[in-house]
Structure 1
Amino acid sequence: MLTATSPNDTARRFLGTLSKPSHLLIAVSGGSDSTGLLIALRRAIATHGFPHTLTAATIDHALRQASATEAAWVFELCARLDIVRHIRRWTGDKPKTGIPAAAREARYGLLAEIAQQCGADAIVTGHTHDDQIETVAMRASRANHENLGLAGMAPATLFDRRIWLLRPFLDVTREAIRDSLRQVGQSWIDDPSNADRSYERVRMRQDNVAIDFNPEAGLRRQALSQATADWLGQHATLISGCVIKLDRDALAAPPEILRHGMATLAAVLGGKPHRPAAQATDKLMALASAEGSTSLTLSGCLVVRRKDVVYMLRERRGLLTLPLPPYATIVWDGRFEIRNHTARILRIEPGAISPILPDLPGPARTAMTGIFPQIREESGQIVEPGADFESSPYLPLFDRFLPAFDVALADRVAAILGRGPTLSCPI
C-alpha cells in the first residue's frame, strides 16, 4: 500500500531534482490534480527559493459546452496567483470514436506549441497515483505476455523528440491533493466526463478493478531496455542504410533480451508504432532458434535467417507514393522524416537502395529494390540528395512518446541507424 505522500513535500523534492534553473509549463485543467500541482509548485518556489519559473497552460478540448467557462476559471485562478497563463482551443472536427486518444494527441501537441512559444524547458502534468493504477489496470486488461505496459506511466516522457513531459505526482493520491486544497480553501472543477462509463478509464475507476501495481516494474523495464541496448551495441550492424544484421553470437542472448530486441527492431524497421503482438513475436523467437535457412514477415519487417546470422529489413509491400508539398515535413512509411526545402511540389516513392551487396540473402536483395525513399519532381525527374530535401531516420516506436524507461534502447537503435541521441531529460 502507498504511504501517504504530501503534495507539498513532493513538489519540493521534484523542484530539487531539476538539473538547472528551469521554466516549467504546468498543464492545468482546473481539476483537483492539476490545480493542486500548480499551487504546490508555486508554494515550494516561494518558500524554498528555487530558481525556477512557472507558466500555466489550459487546453480547451471543446468537447463540452462548459469547457470554455472552465478554461476561463483557470485563467482567473492563475491571475490571482500571479502566474502567466495561456489558453489553447482544440479546433476542427472531432472523431466519432477514440476520443480520449485523439484528445491526448491534440492536448500534448498544443502544449508543446505553447512551450516552444514561451521558451519552457519542460511540461509538467498532474497525473496521480490513482491515474497510475488505472493506467496499469487498462494495460493489463489487454497486454500480451511481455507486459511492458505494467511499468505504468514513466515519471518523465519525451514528446515528439522535442520536449519532456514530467509527472511529479505519480506517488501522490488524489485524496491527498484534495485535502491540501481544502486546507487552503481552494476549490476545483469536477469534470462530468470523469463519470462517463463510455470511457475505459472511468469504468476501471468506478469498478475498482484490482491491480497489483509494483513500482519496481519501471526499474525492471529500464534494466531490460539497457540490457537490450547493450546487446544491440555488441551484435547489430547496419548494412546499406536499411538492413540490420545480427551476428551469430546475438542469438545466444538470454531469451528476454533476444525477444525484446528482435521485436523492437521489427517494429522500427517495419515502420510501426508498436511491437508485434505476442503470438507474432513467438514466431520470431522460433526463427531465432531454428536451424538452417528460413524467413518470415511480421509488422512490415522481413526477417531472414541464413545459418547463424539474421538479417532484418522492411518488407517490399504496402509502400506508398506520397506528395511532398513545398517546405513541408512528412513521415514516409513510418521510417523516414523528409523535409522539402523548396517551393516546388516533390514526390516520394519507393525506390532501390544502393549498393545491394551480392552476399546478402536473396529475399533481402529483392526487398532492397523497392523500400528506400526516392524523391522526384512532378515531371518524374529524380531529385538527388542535397539542398532541395533532407531525410533522416524516423523511429515510430519511440519518436512520438518515449518513456524515460526506454531512452537507452531508443538511443542505441537511433545510433545504429545513423541518428543522434535524444534530448537530455531535465530530472
Structure 2
Amino acid sequence: MAVSGGSDSVALVHLAHEWAVAHGRSLAVLHVDHGLNPDSRVWHDRVRDMAARLGAAFHSARWEGPWPETGLPAAARSARHARLAEMARAIGARVILTGHTADDVAEGRWMQAEGSTLGTLRDWSPSPAWPEGRGLMLLRPLLGERRAALRDWLKAAGVDWIEDPANTDIRYGRSRARRALADGAEAAVPQQDRSASSDGISADQWGVIRAPRDTEPRALAFGLVVAGGGVRPPRGDRLARLSERIAAGENFTAGLAGARLVAGTDGLMLVREAGDYRRRGEPVLDLPPGVEAAWDGRFALRVDEAGWRVAPLAGRAARLGREDRAVVAGVPAAVRPALPVLIRDDETGPVLAQSGARVEALAACRLALGLGQVKHEADLKCRREWRTDGRAPIL
C-alpha cells in the first residue's frame, strides 16, 4: 500500500492491516519521500514507525528531482508512481492500494472544469507508470468514502496523521479545488467506466496490434500509446480526425503518439513508428546479464552474457545473419525497422533479440490491463513463460 502519512492513507493502511490479518495476507507499506518539504524526513520516519507498529514491511524511496519550475505537482505525481511501481515489483507485489476518496474525485472534476488534463480516478486501474508499472494494478477501495468521515474514525481510534502544508498552498490546483469545495459541495462517487470496448483488439509476440475499423476512439487512442511504447495519449483533435478518416472507409497510413497506424480493408494495424527515432533519438540500452530490462516501452529482455546492448533494427538489417533475415522476412514490412536487435560493445551483431535473448512483447499484457480486461488480482497472469531456446515467448 502507498502511504504518504496523510489522513486518507493512514485510515486505509489501518483498514488494510485488519483485512490482511483476517485473510492471511501480508501487507507492505510503500512510502515516497519527495524531498519537497523540510520535514519530509520526519514524515518518512513517522510512516516507518507506524508500519512497524502494525507489523507491516516498510519500503521507501526518495525523489531527488530535478524539480521543474512549472508543473511540479504533475512531475511529483509521475515520480511517485514510478517509485511505487519499482518498489512493488521488487517485492513481488501485483496490486498497490491507494487512499483516494470521494473528495479526491470531486477535486479532480473541479480541476478538469478549470482546464486540467488530470485523468478520472477509477477504483481498479493499471499503474500509470510505464514501463516501471508493467503488470501492476492500482486498487482504490475508499472512493465511496468522504475524507471527513475517515478523519472522524481516526480521531475516535486515537490515531493521528500528517498535515501537508502543500494541501493549502493555492499555487497548486489541488489546493484551490479543496478550498473551492470546502463549503461541503457534493463529492459524488464516480461512475466506474472501467473499459473501452476492446472487442477484436489483439497483439502478437512482435508487439503488432490489430483492431477492427469500428474500434471506439478511446480504445484506439490507448492502442496507439501501447504500440508507440509511450504514456501520452494523442491530442483529441488529431484523434478525432483520424477516427473520421477510418469511419469514412479511407485506407491510409498515419503516425500518431509514436505509433504508425495502417488502415486497410481488413482492419487496422498499429506498430511502432520508426521515424520517431529520427526525431527523438535512437533508443539504445545496455543489458546487464540476468536482469530484465524494458526497451522502448514495448519489450522486456533478459540476456545471460555481459556486453550486449539492444537497439532498433532500422539501419542494421543488411548485417543480420541468414536465419534472422528469414525470420524478419515473415514480419510485416511496417514492423521491421522497430524490432529489437542485440549488438555488442565491439559492434558484434546485430542479432535479432529473439534469437539471442529471452524476450517478451509487452503490448498484449498492457492492452489487457488498460482496456479493463483484467477484473481481479487472480487474473493478473500477463507474464508469458520464457522459451528455453530464447526465441519468441509462448503466448
Change beyond 3 A, Cα 1:162–1:336: closer
The one-letter amino acid paired with 1:153 is R
Distance 2:198 2:254 in 1: 24
Q: Does 1:134 align with 2:101?
A: no
The one-letter amino acid paired with 1:324 is D
Change beyond 3 A, Cα 1:324–1:34: same
Task: Please list every run of 5 or more consecutive structure 1 residues that lacks an aligned counterpart in the other structure.
Answer: 1-25, 422-427
Q: Which has the larger radius of gyration?
A: 1
Within a 5 Å distance, the mapping from 1:34-183 to structure 2 comes to 34-42=9-17, 49-79=22-52, 81-86=53-58, 88-90=60-62, 92-97=64-69, 98-112=71-85, 114-115=87-88, 122-139=95-112, 141-142=114-115, 149-150=119-120, 152-155=121-124, 157-158=126-127, 160-183=133-156
Q: CA deviation at 1:344?
A: 0.9
The one-letter amino acid paired with 1:38 is V
Distance 1:211 1:405 in 2: 31
Q: Which residue pairs with 2:275 in the alignment?
A: 317
Change beyond 3 A, Cα 1:387–1:326: farther
Distance 2:76 2:65 in 1: 12
- How many residues in Structure 1 have an aligned counterpart in Structure 2? 363
- Superposed CA deviations along residues 136-174 of structure 1, whole A, max 9, x for unmatched, are 433455478xx9x44x23245457234443222111111
Q: CA deviation at 1:341?
A: 2.8
Change beyond 3 A, Cα 1:197–1:316: same
The one-letter amino acid paired with 2:179 is Q
Distance 2:365 2:114 in 1: 21
Distance 1:58 1:201 in 2: 21
Distance 2:208 2:37 in 1: 49
SS of aligned partner of 2:255: strand
Q: Which residue pairs with 1:230 in the alignment?
A: 199
Tell me, yes or no, if the aligned pair for 2:259 and 2:273 is still in contact at 8 Å.
Answer: yes
The one-letter amino acid paired with 1:231 is G
Tell me, yes or no, if the aligned pair for 1:28 and 1:35 is still in contact at 8 Å.
Answer: yes
Tell me, yes or no, if the aligned pair for 1:59 and 1:88 is still in contact at 8 Å.
Answer: yes
Q: Does 1:375 align with 2:342?
A: yes
Q: CA deviation at 1:402?
A: 4.9
Q: Which moved more, 1:185-194 or 1:110-119?
A: 110-119
The one-letter amino acid paired with 2:346 is S
Tell me, yes or no, if the aligned pair for 2:274 and 2:337 is still in contact at 8 Å.
Answer: yes
Q: Does 1:333 align with 2:305?
A: no
Change beyond 3 A, Cα 1:318–1:194: same
- Percent identity of equivalent pairs: 26
Q: Which residue pairs with 2:244 in the alignment?
A: 286
Change beyond 3 A, Cα 1:420–1:129: farther
**What is the TM-score normalised by the length of structure 1?**
0.69
SS of aligned partner of 2:311: strand
Distance 1:230 1:104 in 2: 32
Q: CA deviation at 1:67?
A: 1.3
Change beyond 3 A, Cα 1:347–1:314: closer
**What is the TM-score normalised by the length of structure 2?**
0.73
Tell me, yes or no, if the aligned pair for 1:338 and 1:392 is still in contact at 8 Å.
Answer: yes
- Superposed CA deviations along residues 7-31 of structure 1, whole A, max 9, x for unmatched, are xxxxxxxxxxxxxxxxxxx433322
